[in-house]
Chain A
Amino acid sequence: KQEVTQIPAALSVPEGENLVLNCSFTDSAIYNLQWFRQDPGKGLTSLLLIQSSQREQTSGRLNASLDKSSGRSTLYIAASQPGDSATYLCAVGGGADGLTFGKGTHLIIQP
């Protein structure tokens, strides 16, 4: 059974810092990996989707990498802003199956 772990569980940094969120998964036979953002009491906002054949994806200040063989992904956030404060979820997909989510990293960017 696939298990997804996210480290750290919580992170608080001053505005402007670059930061890295980590995600690891136990079964490397995945179709894709997706990073989401969730604001309190809200649904999910998809940030980046990496197919299993890809190594990384970039969107604005966000960069996500995937090392499928080692079961790891990182989400890099450059020049963090208070508006980036949210819970970040990593999820892996097994093709036709649903996604398996990690427990998330609760991020606070201090103004």
Chain B
Amino acid sequence: GAVVSQHPSWVICKSGTSVKIECRSLDFQATTMFWYRQFPKQSLMLMATSNEGSKATYEQGVEKDKFLINHASLTLSTLTVTSAHPEDSSFYICSARDRRLAFYEQYFGPGTRLTVT
């Protein structure tokens, strides 16, 4: 149980275009989903927290107008990178938390590698 999927697993896009990444909890209800970013040879950095039905909360330094997050259902959150630029190239990983668990364990998706040319 507690499986999280991401789609696509990798994507290449041209500078100036937008890219949407989906994060799904397959066998549990995720009241909260988190989006992380990992640059090469760096650790994961939290970008934003999204609660189902609410606006996302962004970490300091993350542009909310550039990284649009939607969490419209208990099993799906999307991250849209708008007007992507080469510096947005990174590994994006989502995680989801099950409302039934009292200990706040997060389950991670396999990640999406974005390359902007």
Contact = CB atoms under 8 A, between A and B. Distances in A.
Contacts of B95: 98-99
A95 interface: yes
Given A44-B93, A97-B49, A98-B34, A103 B42 contact: yes
B114 to A, nearest CB: 13
Main secondary structure of the interface of A (DSSP, over half): strand
B105 A104 contact: no
A18 interface: no
Residues of A in contact with B, size category = 20 to 34
B43 A31 contact: no
A96 B111 CA distance: 22
Interface string B77-115: 000000000000000010100000001111111110100
A1 B32 CA distance: 21
Interface in A90-110: 91, 93, 95-104
Contacts, number: 54
A93 B106 contact: yes
A42 interface: yes
A99 to B, nearest CB: 6
Contacts of A43: 93, 108-111
Contacts of B113: 41
Interface of A: 31-32, 34, 36, 41-44, 46, 49, 51, 89, 91, 93, 95-104
The 9 closest A-B pairs by CB, nearest first: A98-B46, A43-B110, A43-B111, A98-B34, A101-B43, A103-B43, A101-B44, A44-B108, A31-B104
